[in-house]
């Protein structure tokens, strides 16, 4: 199977239906969806009953300790089913939050074309992949293989395209990495590297740094829009923003030297990072800011 998409939800209202609709309308058909719900009581499963009835969708309701624990639980379901032979082992895995939408019907097809996936794996190769997974040695040591692909997003609040950095060097990893809604992870990577749930806001950020800076995983910028990103969650609240800043300090201390952290923070101060963040989030100025930023990134 080309792809497995994981959606975690908790009382999402109509947003689950909308997110599933954007997936099931894709021209690309070779994927499955796991909806890992944390015990919603708002009728969201009934609102999306038509979408949940699609044979490509698996709905599981069980308690979790937050979004990243829910994502880990969904991964456990995915890999356990594949190892038992109950479902195909996907090559790639993608996480999409309730309320976020794939940008258009061609997104997954374009991703498939970008990786050159043919789906011509033989039964013996599939069996070998399951054996390798059961031995816990999914990472094959081939650092030349691309294991994270990422693209751009449309920020729903401003309607503007936020371009991803075309190269994930150390400074790019320090200042900002693509959100998980813009990333496609090779399944072998997520088999070994799960999300650390101690990070309430930035577990996906820590996971990205662990893979790219510690594991030396290769990345690829796709150069096109992946999703329309809703935003406005806990991480953007006053409490969440404070928690996010604290976690960023702790995580970067793990992966960057003191000299790097001082140098990168000084650069952000001198380039007026708080002002730039305001311009990017303001409906009036976001278009101009993102346009200038995209041109600079292309250079």
Mean pLDDT (the chain) is 87
Q: Is it the case that residue 123 has pLDDT exceeding 50?
A: no
User: How far apart are alpha carbons 259 and 87 in whole angstroms?
Assistant: 48
CA angle at residue 211 from 207 to 212, to 5 degrees? 115
**pTM score, whole prediction:** 0.87
* Contact indicator for 32, 2 with CB cutoff of 8 Å: no
> Average pLDDT, stretch 227-246?
82
CB within 8 Å of 217: residues ≥ 6 apart: 143, 147, 148, 189, 211
Q: What is the pLDDT of residue 289?
A: 75
Q: Give per-residue pLDDT as tens, 173-206.
A: 998 899 999 999 999 999 988 999 999 999 999 9
User: How far apart are alpha carbons 143 and 139 in whole angstroms?
Assistant: 9
Q: Give per-residue pLDDT as tens, 40-78.
A: 999 998 999 999 999 999 999 999 999 999 999 999 999
| Domain spans of the chain, in order of start | 1-135, 138-299
Q: Kindly list the distances between the CA atom of residue 169 and the CA atoms of 14, 86, 172, 173, 264, in Å, as whole numbers in the listed order.
A: 39, 39, 5, 6, 12
Q: Under CATH, to which class is 1-135 assigned?
A: alpha beta
Q: Give per-residue pLDDT as tens, 135-146.
A: 333 334 444 689
């Amino acid at each position: 199977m080309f792809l497995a998409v994981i959606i975690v939800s908790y009382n999402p209202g109509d947003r689950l239906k909308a997110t599933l609709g954007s997936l099931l309308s894709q021209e690309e058909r070779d994927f499955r969806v796991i909806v890992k719900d944390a015990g919603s009581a708002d009728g969201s499963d009934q609102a999306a009953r038509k979408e949940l009835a699609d044979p490509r969708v698996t709905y599981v309701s069980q308690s979790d300790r937050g979004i990243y624990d829910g994502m880990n639980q969904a991964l456990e379901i995915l890999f356990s089913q594949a190892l038992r032979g109950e479902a195909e082992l996907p090559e790639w895995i993608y996480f999409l939050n309730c309320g976020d939408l794939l940008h258009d019907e061609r997104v997954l097809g374009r991703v498939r074309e970008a990786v050159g996936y043919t789906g011509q794996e033989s039964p013996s190769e599939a069996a070998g992949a399951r054996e390798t997974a059961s031995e816990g040695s999914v990472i094959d040591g081939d650092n030349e293989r691309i294991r994270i692909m990422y693209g751009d997003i449309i920020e729903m609040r401003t309607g503007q395209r936020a371009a991803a950095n075309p190269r994930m060097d150390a400074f790019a990893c320090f200042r900002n990495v693509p959100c998980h809604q813009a990333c496609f992870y090779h399944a072998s990577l997520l088999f070994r590297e799960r999300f650390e749930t101690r990070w309430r806001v930035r577990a996906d950020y820590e996971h990205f740094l662990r893979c790219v800076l510690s594991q030396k995983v290769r990345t690829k910028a796709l150069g096109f829009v992946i999703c329309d990103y809703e935003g406005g969650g806990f991480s953007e609240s006053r409490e969440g923003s404070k928690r996010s800043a604290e976690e960023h300090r702790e995580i970067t201390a793990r992966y960057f030297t003191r000299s790097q952290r001082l140098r990168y923070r000084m650069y952000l101060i001198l380039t007026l990072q708080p002002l730039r963040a305001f311009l990017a989030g303001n409906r009036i100025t976001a278009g101009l800011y993102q346009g200038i930023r995209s041109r600079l990134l292309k250079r």
